[in-house]
Amino acid sequence: MTAGQEVSVRPPRRRPLWVCVGVGAAGAVLAAGRLVYSGAFVDWWVGGGLLAALVGVAFLHGVTLEVGADAYGVRYGSLLRRRRSVPWDDIADLRVHIQYGRHGEEYFRVGVLLRDGRTRRLPLPVSGSRDDRPDFDATLDALRALHRRHGNPESDHLAVISRRTAGRGTAGPLFLCLLLFAGAGLAAWFVPVTGATKEAWDSAVPCAAGTPSEERGACLTTRPAVIARTEVGRAKQPSRLYFADGRPVDRLTVSREGAQGFRAGDRVELTLWRGQVRVVAAEHHVWREHFTSAGSVAVLAAALALAAGYPGARVLVHRRGRGLPDDEVLPSALPFAGVLAGTALWLLPFCYVHPLGPPASPGPLAWAAAGSLATLGLLVLAWRATRISTPQTAATATATGAVAEERGGADVFLAARFLESTDYNPNHFGTHVVLGDGPPAVVPHPGPGRFAA
């Protein structure tokens, strides 16, 4: 709400929040009383009371949250958080930041751009639907009016920062890219280890008579046993086989299908290798431990590396648009996703067949060379499709007359930001509107061509 020269914003519908705070206080009293009465900290009533108290503390922060503005500047804080204030002279501009929920819902928040380039997002006001958008806009207009009256805004333009604009940070995509690359490196490190284990198992032979006990780990040893009972796990729970008298082992974790194939009292033969049971064989059913091949792990490593390419492409597109205004919509990184998908068509089968690298024979080398050339060609097309026209290049094109020549007969690409999804622009994928000889269209790139129109 606004009043004269001041703006004060508090959370709407505060009564339910106070009710939750009261429930939290009651939980704290319950936990303390139960702890004094029983003297045991591990108790259901104590745990429930402490949980309710923690929830009450969170709601206490929310219900006492307040954002205010006056002739000095902007201040915000709560009863549980130290109040901060920013003078108008330190504020370069006020912006709108769009945050996205788990299911794609949009939340509008006010951001404060400081003179040193940092950005602080105010906790209030927040708009999550069209119903509260008018109140959000009115509060934002009041804040901007105070900024113009008592400060020195850098621009009268209201910048709207979304996940597709140049002003959006790249910390999230960069962290995801590094995390996926780390996973790919770890999986690649396990490729030779897994391959050596699988090869040793395939080449293992039964132990000869008189083999010393310390050398029996490298060969196959058989032991008779009797199944005492089976335990078939539900869903993702493990399944187990239990052996009579705990010999040679007390229990063995097997697959769900393996546990279902055995019955209590079955006489089985156990095959041990490297000190562990690898095969359980009965007259009517056999369970064998699965050894992952080196090709499967190599495919996993390649898939993780390719998956890391998409957030990396988003960081690259953002870096290419660093000369644009913060609210300028960047080209979509989907062309690079096409490059990654095309690369996966030849790279994943290649990694499965040749997990340790291409041999010297000409067939695999030609396979790798042809796939690499195809990836390079797709990468060049994606680089051109995500080309960004900075103000400097636009000025150069105007000076050389290139713009006038393009407008004569070719398509003209106009940057646009779409606030809502439509039939011709689903999921906000479009970044430019194409005008020219053909009908108007929406594309996720600045041209040339009408790819993905």
At 153-181, the pLDDT tens digits run 888 888 888 888 888 888 889 999 999 99
Residue 329 DSSP label: B
Cβ neighbourhood burial of 130 (10 Å; 0-12, 13-18, 19+): exposed
- For 149, 258, 266, the CA distances from 285, given in Å and listed in that order, are 84, 8, 10
On whether the CB atoms of residues 58 and 122 are closer than 8 A, the answer is no
Q: Is pLDDT above 50 for 66?
A: yes
Least confident of 262-276, 307-321, 382-396: 382-396
pLDDT digits (tens, 9 = 90+) for 228-267: 888 888 878 889 989 988 788 888 888 888 888 889 888 9
Q: Is pLDDT above 80 for 279?
A: yes
Distance CA 87, CA 89 (A): 5
Q: Which DSSP string do the residues of 419-432 spell out, in sequence order? A: SS-BTTBGGG---E
What local confidence, expressed as pLDDT, does residue 402 receive?
Answer: 44
Distance CA 161, CA 113 (A): 12
In the block, residue with structure tokens 């003078």: 87
Structural domain spans, the chain: 2-161, 211-288, 391-443
Which phi and psi angles does 132 have, rounded to 5°?
A: -95, 5
User: pTM for this structure?
Assistant: 0.72
- 355: helix, strand or coil: coil
In the block, residue with structure tokens 């009016």: 145
In the block, residue with structure tokens 């205010």: 68
Confidence of residue 426 (pLDDT cuts 50, 70, 90): low
Angle between helix 391-400 and 402-409 (nearest 10): 80
Distance CA 298, CA 72 (A): 61
Cβ neighbourhood burial of 439 (10 Å; 0-12, 13-18, 19+): exposed
Domain 211-288 has CATH 2.40.50: yes
